[in-house]
């Protein structure tokens, strides 16, 4: 496992490192959380990863209103979490597997065993946590959170829901603790490994192997230099 603290999430360097890497935010394209079976979008996602490696640049991704709001409000939500729990949250750029094929960009690490995943939700989604009386994290986020626990090798994740517009300030911040689900993680690992294998098959057909591996050697040298403190 490689924890990169030298880069900032959202930066050009961060985007470059993420190319071709299966990331936890996309694990729902690999495994369907409710059925725990392979997602119909696995092959499409594997192709996307291959394209990221084979081309210098691709079309910029679309950012929804919710994504933009999350980027703006995340620091505020993180601060509210720290004050509520009297803890320090460490921000990191990305956590990569030793092989470099899987990655997770957490919203923060807590101590030696925990992490946080922040969702800044608009009013309709935020209110559901009270109207539907959620006691557990919604299943839609299971692949991302369990994937993060797998890659970070951590024991628990506080799923943090935030909306500062609600008139009752006591309900702005919702925290649901999630622990590792080893059985689910095993299924997730199988799906991710299958995705990477398929990615490489697509890549060998799109790009000359010699050229691709030459680029990979450069990336691996950079990783070695970083882990060695160079």
Opening angle at CA 67, ends 23 and 109, nearest 5: 55
CA proximity to 87, closest of 120, 111, 108, 116: 111
pLDDT 10s digits, 88-147: 999 999 999 999 999 999 999 999 999 999 999 999 999 999 998 888 999 999 999 999
CA proximity to 106, closest of 226, 215, 216, 3: 3
Q: What is the pLDDT of residue 100?
A: 93
> Of residues 37 and 57, which shows the higher confidence score?
37
Residue 39 pLDDT exceeds 80: yes
Around 140, how many Cα atoms within 13 Å sit in the side-chain half-sphere? 4
Q: What is the pLDDT of residue 59?
A: 63
Mean local confidence (pLDDT), 172-199 = 97
On average, the pLDDT of the chain sits at: 89
Q: What is the pLDDT of residue 131?
A: 93
Dist. CA 221–CA 212, nearest whole Å: 14
User: Containing domain of residue 161, as a range?
Assistant: 2-227
Region at 220 (left for phi over 0; alpha for psi -120 to 50; beta for the rest):
alpha
Cite the DSSP H helix spans in the chain: 12-17, 42-54, 65-85, 123-131, 142-152, 182-206, 209-227
The count of structural domains within the chain is 1
Q: For the domain that residue 198 is a member of, what is the CATH number?
A: 3.90.320.10
SS3 content of the chain, % helix, strand, coil (to 5): 50, 20, 30
């Amino acid at each position: 496992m490689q924890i990169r603290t030298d880069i900032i999430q959202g930066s050009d360097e961060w985007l470059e490192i993420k190319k071709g890497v299966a990331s936890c935010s996309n694990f729902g394209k690999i495994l369907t959380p409710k059925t725990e079976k392979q997602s119909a979008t696995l092959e499409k996602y594997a192709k996307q990863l291959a394209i990221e490696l084979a081309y210098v640049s691709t079309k910029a991704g679309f950012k929804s209103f919710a994504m933009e709001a999350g980027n703006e409000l995340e620091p505020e939500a993180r601060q509210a979490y720290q004050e509520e729990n009297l803890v320090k949250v460490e921000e990191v750029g990305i956590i990569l597997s030793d092989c470099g094929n899987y990655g997770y960009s957490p919203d923060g690490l807590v101590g030696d065993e925990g992490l946080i995943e922040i969702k800044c939700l608009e009013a309709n989604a935020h209110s559901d946590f009270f109207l539907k009386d959620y006691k557990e994290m919604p299943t839609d986020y299971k692949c991302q959170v369990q994937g993060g626990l797998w890659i970070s090798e951590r024991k628990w994740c506080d799923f943090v829901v935030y909306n500062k517009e609600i008139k009752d300030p006591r309900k702005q911040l919702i925290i649901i603790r999630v622990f590792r689900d080893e059985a689910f993680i095993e299924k997730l690992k199988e799906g991710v490994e299958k995705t990477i294998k398929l990615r490489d098959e697509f890549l060998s057909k799109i790009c000359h192997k010699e050229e691709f591996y030459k680029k990979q050697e450069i990336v691996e040298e950079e990783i070695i230099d970083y882990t060695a403190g160079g």
